[in-house]
Structure 1
Amino acid sequence: MGSQDGLAHLASAIINPGDYVLVPDPGYPIYEASVNIAGGIIYPMPLLAENKFLPMLEKIPLDVLDKTKMMIISYPGNPVTALADQSFFDKVVTFAKQHNILVVHDFAYSELIFDGNRQLSFMSVPGAKEIGIEFNSLSKTFNMAGCRIGYVVGNEQAIDILASFKSHIDYGVFYPIQKAAVRALTSDFAFLKTQVNEYELRRNVLISGLEKSGWQVAKSPATMFVWASIPAGWKSREFAFELIDQAGVAVIPGDAFGKLGEGYVRIAMVQPPERLSQAAERIHEFLMEYSRKK
């Protein structure tokens, strides 16, 4: 019932109390929540701009790795919109085999990739199917967010365990939604290029609008979000709340996604370009007013 359900159930199906799970920080909240529900122990993997938002696997202590059962990664991800290349995925496969870790790749934004960048499934990397599984969702690619349907591929044993657990949780997805998913997945995907172009346009309109305020924001290479380093002098929550109160613009404070999200906000590009342009103009006025008061 959507890839989030799969991610949430997987930890309860696989993790025993006391097992460690390597979780990205910042990362989508269900990663951490699912481990907490299962009684596992979270070991955060810092995603830092200076390392292209890739975890530094070599810095994880061996005593942690000896007790680690699972690692969660997501490229392109949420909230961090970075891409991973094959050399990183190759490193992950080698690392997981060496330490007997199940790799869980959340690939929900598989199609929303911009600027001609390569789409890269973790499952396409040699050896990945032996040590990993990959979740995907129809929510983003096919605009079926409220319909709740996704799927998982990869390691047979892990999927069997998840399927057994799921059989005790619910009775499956509403049949018309399954039929819609079949239709979507067997289509010619012709509309996807138009959709990607639309999100790329939204990104460009939003970022160019913010630049007028002097707020330099990195161009997201993928997803429907912008992961923006906030202007100097603010904390993430303070900035987000003031933006709502003073400008009527809602963004998500970065620390909602983990400790290392501090200093960032996530901006969703789920409105048309003209609406995003209006939001950028309101933010511009807000920042100019703040500058005058300093």
Structure 2
Amino acid sequence: MAHLALAYLDPGDIIIAPDPGYPIYSACARLAGADLYTVPVNEDNNFMPDLSLIPLDILRRAKMMIFNYPGNPTAALATKEYFKEMISFGLKHNILIVHDFAYSELIFDNNEPISIFHIPDAKKIAVEFNSLSKSFNMAGARIGYLIGYPSLLKPLASLKSHIDYGVFLPIQNAAVKALTSDYSFLQEHKETYQARRDVLFDSLTENGWNVRKPDGGMFIWARIPPHYTSLSFSLEAIEQGVVVTPGNAFGMGGEGYVRIALVQSDERLREAGLRLTSLI
């Protein structure tokens, strides 16, 4: 994604990104020498920002817009109608729509995974990232892919041909094995994370912390009591033996929240919930 920004953006251009959002969204603007314009993503807008509120002077300079559903850190989904709105917006203003679909295989409660390419006109203005880090537990291997119309992919392919020449071959072979499998693992994987979500959600809510139930992904995005900052709560949590990520690590819109990862066993998540609620 950082390389895509380098391929598309010049100094003075604008990238539109969610706040809170995964840190590379803001970092890629800085790496490209471009400017960042953020749109709030929160409960008030059902995690689907009103694109009509973006000022015209921003739209004239914007070259790229990133969105992420299921969201990291918000663990929220968008509707298909909103995806249609995104594509219409991109076509109207000639802005490349970039969908970060890293959590495509971790969507809960029988909700349908929505690719940007469910929208017929998306190929004219959109690209979509995915990562085997999440779907096949290959975090650290740094292997993923970008899908889109060849003319939209060409700038990135040209740039990367001068920066990197291919992932270590055994990792490529592992990715081929994963992508040509029968995908039965993906269902088991999703069920594991949904069960973990339920365990931690129940542990938190039953002990007095009213948090939002995630729609997908690997995290609970939890609003903290107002007498804490994101950082102060995270430091208190460490004293209780639990590591969480302060919400302001994902942008100023994340202040007042923490992200809690679902990357431990049910038993440990249940215990983590008890320790965290002792701070509430």
The yes-or-no answer on 1:249 pairing with 2:226 is no
Paired letter, 1:252 = T
The yes-or-no answer on 1:261 pairing with 2:251 is no
Q: Residue 225 of structure 2 corresponds to which residue in structure 1?
A: 231
Measured against aligned partners, the alpha-carbon deviations of 1:117-173 in whole angstroms (never above 9, x if no partner) come to 111101221111110100001111111112211000013222111011001111211
Paired letter, 1:253 = P
Unaligned runs of 5+ in 2: none
Paired letter, 1:283 = L
Q: 2:86 aligns with which of 78, 82, 92?
A: 92
Q: Residue 120 of structure 1 corresponds to which residue in structure 2?
A: 114
Paired letter, 2:35 = I
Unaligned runs of 5+ in 1: 1-6, 288-294
Paired letter, 2:92 = Q
Q: Residue 269 of structure 2 corresponds to which residue in structure 1?
A: 276
Distance 2:180 2:243 in 1: 37
SS of 1:136's equivalent? strand
Distance 1:99 1:148 in 2: 33
Paired letter, 2:258 = V
Q: CA deviation at 1:66?
A: 0.7
Measured against aligned partners, the alpha-carbon deviations of 1:55-78 in whole angstroms (never above 9, x if no partner) come to 210100011101110000011111
Q: CA deviation at 1:111?
A: 0.5
Distance 2:173 2:275 in 1: 43
Q: CA deviation at 1:234?
A: 1.4
Distance 2:259 2:270 in 1: 16
Aligned residues: 280
Range 144-153 or range 278-287, more displaced: 278-287
Distance 2:151 2:265 in 1: 43
1:33-52 equivalences under 5 Å are 33-52=27-46
Range 15-24 or range 212-221, more displaced: 212-221
Distance 1:59 1:197 in 2: 38
Q: CA deviation at 1:232?
A: 3.3
The yes-or-no answer on 1:17 pairing with 2:11 is yes
Distance 1:241 1:224 in 2: 21
Distance 2:51 2:187 in 1: 35
1:118-267 equivalences under 5 Å are 118-245=112-239, 247-267=240-260
**Is the contact made by 1:215 and 1:231 (CA closer than 8 Å) also made in structure 2?**
no
Distance 2:277 2:107 in 1: 28
Q: CA deviation at 1:284?
A: 3.0
Measured against aligned partners, the alpha-carbon deviations of 1:216-269 in whole angstroms (never above 9, x if no partner) come to 111101001111111232111111111112x01110111110011011100000
**Is the contact made by 1:147 and 1:177 (CA closer than 8 Å) also made in structure 2?**
yes
Paired letter, 2:127 = I
Q: 1:81 aligns with which of 67, 75, 83?
A: 75
Q: CA deviation at 1:280?
A: 1.1
Structure 1 runs (4+) deviating above 6 angstroms are none
Distance 1:96 1:117 in 2: 26
Q: CA deviation at 1:188?
A: 0.8
Distance 1:284 1:102 in 2: 43
Backbone CA RMSD of aligned residues: 1.0
TM-score, normalised via structure 1 length: 0.93
Question: Percent identity among equivalent residues?
Answer: 54
Q: CA deviation at 1:45?
A: 0.8
Range 81-90 or range 154-163, more displaced: 154-163
Paired letter, 2:250 = F
SS of 1:173's equivalent? coil
